[in-house]
Amino acid sequence: MQYGAAAAEQAWTAYMPMPAMAAAAETAAERVERVASESAVVVFSVSSCCMCHAVKRLFCGLGVSPAVHELDLDPCGRDIERALSHLVGGGAAPVVPVVFIGGKLVGAMDRVMAAHINGSLVPLLKEAGALWL
The three-class DSSP label of residue 19 is coil
Q: Which residue has the higher pLDDT, 7 or 102?
A: 102
Q: Which residue has the higher pLDDT, 12 or 40?
A: 40
Residue 133: inside a domain: no
pLDDT digits 0-9 by tens, 88-125: 887 666 789 999 999 999 999 999 999 999 999 999 99
Give the residues across from 42 on adjacent strands: 67, 100
- Of 45, 49, 33, nearest in space to 97 by CA: 45
Domains in the chain, number = 1
Residue 59: inside a domain: yes
| Phi/psi of residue 40, nearest 5 degrees | -65, -40
pTM of the model: 0.79
Residue 103: inside a domain: yes
pLDDT digits 0-9 by tens, 32-73: 999 999 999 999 999 999 999 999 999 999 999 999 999 999
The CATH number of residue 70's host domain is: 3.40.30.10
Residue 33: give the domain boundaries.
5-128
Residue 91: inside a domain: yes
Cα Rg of the chain (Å, integer):
14
Query: Looking at the predicted structure, is the pLDDT value of residue 17 above 60?
Result: no
Are the C-beta atoms of residues 66 and 123 closer than 8 Å to each other?
Answer: no
